[in-house]
């Protein structure tokens, strides 16, 4: 009989504690639900994803190897003649970002960005990194302009809809990210995204 009374007392205390926990859990302030996804937020997320990959990879390459090209390895049977250096890969992504995003924001595309490799005067890693980061800032600004009403409109002087330009910029950057990863690995550097 003592065991039954003891079990009933334990059960009663447990149920009482559970009731208090449930009561305090339901009365605790709940985090607001995330805002609904929009065209702008979805494209911005895509831009943020590739921005992190590219910027981290570019930061990982030491400045003294920023002008590395696989052409310098003289690999038997390989044909890397004339391929872009690592620095030119980064500058190309940035210049292309400007070319693709500027029509969406109305920003003027600087003439010295033409040709796909960006301004000739950018030589240091710091200058190239600033150019790259600024190009992604323009990408976020461009994504913010997208709405369901305008996403299929052609921006001024463009044959491609606004949504295509924004998403193609991310796809293009991913292509060059793959090349940057190979350049890092050729120099014994594990790309940050692959690091343990």
- Predicted pLDDT of residue 70: 92
In contact, 34 and 156? CB cutoff 8 Å: no
The third-level CATH classification (topology) of the domain covering 36-191 is 1.20.120
Per the document, the length of the chain is: 196
Return the half-sphere exposure (C-beta side, CA atoms, 13 A cut-off) of residue 13. 6
pLDDT on residue 16: 53
Mean pLDDT of the chain: 85
pLDDT tops 90 at residue 22: no
Q: What is the pTM of this model?
A: 0.80
The pair of structure tokens assigned to 61 is: 């390459």
The Cα 83–Cα 154 span in angstroms is 33
Is the separation of the CB atoms in 167 and 143 below 8 Å?
no
| Cβ neighbours of 133 (radius 10 Å) | 14
Domain coordinates in residue numbering, the chain = 36-191
As to burial, measured by CB atoms within 10 angstroms (0-12 exposed, 13-18 middle, 19+ buried), residue 96 is buried
| Between 23 and 159, residue with greater pLDDT | 159
Given a cut of 70, whether residue 21 has pLDDT beyond it is: no
> Does 179 have pLDDT greater than 90?
yes
């Amino acid at each position: 009989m003592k065991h039954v009374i003891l079990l009933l007392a334990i059960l009663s205390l447990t149920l009482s504690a559970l009731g208090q926990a449930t009561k305090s859990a339901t009365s605790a302030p709940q985090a607001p639900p995330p805002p609904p996804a929009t065209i702008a937020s979805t494209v911005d997320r895509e831009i943020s994803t590739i921005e992190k990959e590219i910027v981290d990879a570019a930061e990982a390459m030491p400045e003294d190897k920023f002008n590395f090209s696989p052409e310098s390895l003289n690999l038997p049977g390989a044909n890397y003649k004339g391929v872009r250096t690592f620095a030119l890969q980064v500058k190309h992504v940035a210049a292309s970002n400007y070319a693709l995003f500027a029509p969406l924001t109305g920003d003027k595309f600087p003439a010295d960005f033409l040709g796909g490799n960006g301004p000739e005067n950018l030589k240091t890693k710091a200058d190239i990194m600033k150019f790259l980061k600024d190009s992604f800032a323009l990408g976020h600004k461009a994504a913010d302009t997208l709405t369901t009403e305008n996403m299929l409109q052609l921006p001024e002087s463009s044959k491609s809809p606004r949504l295509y330009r924004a998403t193609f910029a991310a796809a293009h950057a991913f292509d060059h990210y793959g090349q940057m990863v190979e350049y890092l690995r050729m120099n014994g550097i594990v790309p940050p995204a692959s690091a343990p």
